[in-house]
């Protein structure tokens, strides 16, 4: 029975360390968010850096994809982006609609090319 309790101890330690690594920062963010001025220069800089990181990731996924996405030709990936942006604009800036439309164009295009 000591083997079972030893495993439970390791499991509890793993959960505690996972909390510290991930959720602690979320708790601190919630606690400190009341003091953040959304119009401050620092907050604007953080927003710009986050936007640039997302834009860089999207560009990498489009121009130099890995895995299954690399099977889709570049023109199809660009058409999917255009379809997603169009749906986003037409759908009153609905992010979910834009992502769903882009995915639908990409998946539909891959299925049509393989058929």
Residue 88 and residue 113 share a domain: yes
Parent domain of 90 = 67-115
Angle, helix 41-63 to helix 74-90, in steps of 10 degrees: 140
Average pLDDT for the chain: 90
Q: Domain count of the chain?
A: 3
Residue 44 and residue 71 share a domain: no
pTM over 0.75: no
Residue 105's pLDDT is: 98
* C-alpha to C-alpha distance for 7 and 14, rounded to whole angstroms: 10
- Per residue in 45-89, pLDDT tens? 989 999 999 999 999 999 999 998 999 999 999 999 999 999 999
């Amino acid at each position: 029975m000591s083997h079972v309790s030893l495993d439970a101890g390791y499991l509890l330690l793993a959960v505690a360390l996972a909390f510290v690594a991930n959720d602690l920062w979320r708790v601190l963010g919630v606690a400190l968010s009341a003091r953040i001025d959304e119009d401050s220069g620092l907050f604007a800089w953080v927003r710009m850096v986050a936007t640039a990181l997302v834009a860089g990731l999207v560009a990498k996924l489009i121009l130099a994809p890995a895995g299954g996405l690399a099977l889709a030709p570049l023109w199809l990936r660009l058409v999917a982006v255009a379809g997603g942006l169009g749906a986003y604009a037409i759908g009153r800036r609905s992010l979910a609609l834009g992502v769903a439309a882009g995915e639908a164009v990409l998946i539909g295009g891959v299925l049509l090319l393989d058929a």
